[in-house]
Structure formats: C-alpha cells, structure tokens
Amino acid sequence: MATYLLKTLLKALVVVLGVSLLVFVLTRSIGNPVNTMLPLGASTAERARLTHQLGLDKPLLAQLGDYVAGVAQGNFGESWWQQESALTVALRPLPFTIELSGIALVLSLVFAIPLGILSALKPRSLLDKVASTSSMLGICVPNFWLGLMLILIFSNLLHWFPTSGTGGWQYWVLPSVTLAVLPLGRITQIVRTAMLEQLRELYIVTARSKGLPEFWVVTRHALKNAGVQIVTMSGWELGRMIAGYTIAIEAVFGLPGIGSLIVDAIGQQDFPLIQAITFVIAICIVFLNILIDLSYPLFNPRVKFK
C-alpha cells in the first residue's frame, strides 16, 4: 500500500505540474491583458509601464522560470483583477462548489441506484423503458434551460423557493436539483448495465439456488460487485462538477462558485488567477481519483495495490 501511494503521489505531481505548464502556455496565447486593463486611449508609455509592471516584457522562458519557482512555493502572485493573493481568491469559492456538487451527487445517487436496480431486474419492461427514457432525457436537457424552468415554476409561480443567491436550505434546492439531473441519468444507465452483468454471473445463480432472499442477493452480492463501476462514474461526475460544470447553473442562480470565477478570470485575462484556479482544480481532481482508487477493495477484494 505504501509503495502504491508513493507511486500514485509521484504520478499526481507530474499531472499537476503538466497541467500547470499547459495553462501557463495557453494563457500567454489568449491575448494581451494590457489591452483589457487599460482604456482604449492609453498611451504607448502607459502600456509599456503596465507591461513591465506585470512582468510581461520578460522573455517567455524567464516568465516560465518565475512561474515554476512561485508554484514550488505555493505562490501564484497577486490577482491582477482583485489585487490580492491569486491562490486565496481561487480557494474562496471552492467550499461552496464542493458542497453544491456533493449535494447534487447524493441526490442523483439516491434516485439513480434504485432506478438502475429495478431496470436491471425487469429488463425490457415498462419500468425499464420509462427509466431508460427518463435518464436519456436527463442527459440531453440543457441544465441552464432546466434551471430557468424550475425558477419559473417553483419560484415565480408557486413561490416555494428563492430565485437566486445564498442562504438557508431553501437556496440549495433548485440549484442542486438542476445540477443532479445529468449525473442522475448517467449513473442510472451505469447501474443498470453493471447490475445486468452481475445478475447473469454464476455466483448469483448459486446464491439464489441456496435460497437466499432476493433482496440479499441483489444488494449484498450483485450491487456490491457492481460498486466499482458505480463509484468510478460517481467520482467522474463529482470531479466534472468541481472542475467547472457548474458554470451555467451558477450563472442562472447567481451563485458564487468556482465556475463563475473561472469565467470572470478568463474575461479579465487575469493570468495569475487563471493559473491558481487551474492548480486548485487539478489538485482536487487528483485527490478525488486517489480516493476512488483506494475504495475499490471495499467492493472487490481481488483488487490489490502493489
């Protein structure tokens, strides 16, 4: 286990550094931030002064060296837009996005697992067709449109929930439901497929022949062995949400998440902030993948770490 963790952490370090370097190169190719930060009528001297102040007049290799040295110390410099530590700005909305994503994932699992199991137990039945069609609709429906429809019905017409902002539990309902629809559809399909595979295995036939209750056979045996696929897809969905899939939902509901910060940072061409956000997201995704890998032996004892 210790050797596996060491190898995994080294690979994770390479991935994070690779992503950071890629973002460094890409930010330098999206345009000149001086044009964004100064008015159109700025003089050549003012542009040269700001370019020097931002360090953009240095050779690209020198900028890269400064960037790598800063990353090694956890220092991404100051956000040009917000005039404070870029890493601090990048970390500020992260708890909100993780909480929203976590609630959405739990909601999707609560409905996806039973639907997937029932569809697998009765393939090609009316229930299976309804569940499959619903899951496909959930995948196809644009989340920003769904969010607007939920606001129209449950906020404007019924006045059950607020339209935007943050606060008590009422503020979490519509955004989390909107965000949960897509993973609900995908995870339902994964659960159905994985359960169909497991229910055809000989060990299930043996368990049933021994007279074990059907509920025990399905949950204790089939569902547990299907857990690797379910956990993998759930982790992928959670990582996707943390990585910025919440952008449209945050815009619709006026939420201060990391997705909105990404859009603002790109719009302002704030290189230090873009780089800090990317680094933070990369760390989160790598850590999540490690947790997923470590969970596999809980579902399949044959998985061994070397």
Amino acid symbol at 285: I
* 177, 150 Cβ separation under 8 angstroms: yes
Are 225 and 120 spatial neighbours (Cβ–Cβ below 8 Å)?
no
Q: What percent of the chain has pLDDT over 90?
A: 21
Contact 213, 177 (CB under 8 A): no
Least confident of 41-45, 201-205, 213-217: 41-45
- For the cut 90, the answer to whether the pLDDT of residue 142 exceeds it is no
Q: Of all helices (H) and strands (E), which one includes residue 204? A: helix 202-209
**How far is the CA of 20 from the CAs of 68, 73, 266, 283, 285, in angstroms?**
9, 14, 16, 11, 13
> What is the sign, positive or negative, of the torsion defined by CA atoms of 216, 218, 222, 223?
negative
Q: Which two tokens stand for residue 122?
A: 């009765």
Which candidate, 250, 228, 215, 235, places its Cα nearest to that of 100?
Answer: 250
pLDDT surpasses 80 at 277? yes
Task: Enter the pTM of the model.
Answer: 0.86
**What's the pLDDT tens digit per position in 151-170?**
999 988 988 898 887 778 88
Say whether pLDDT at 305 is over 70. Answer: no
The residues, ordered by sequence, that sit 6+ positions from 117 with a Cβ below 8 Å of its Cβ are: 191, 192, 195, 218, 223
**CB neighbours (10 Å) of residue 165?**
10
pLDDT over 90 (residue 222): no
Domains of the chain with bracketed CATH: 14-88 (no CATH), 94-256 (1.10.3720.10)
Q: What is the pLDDT of residue 306?
A: 65
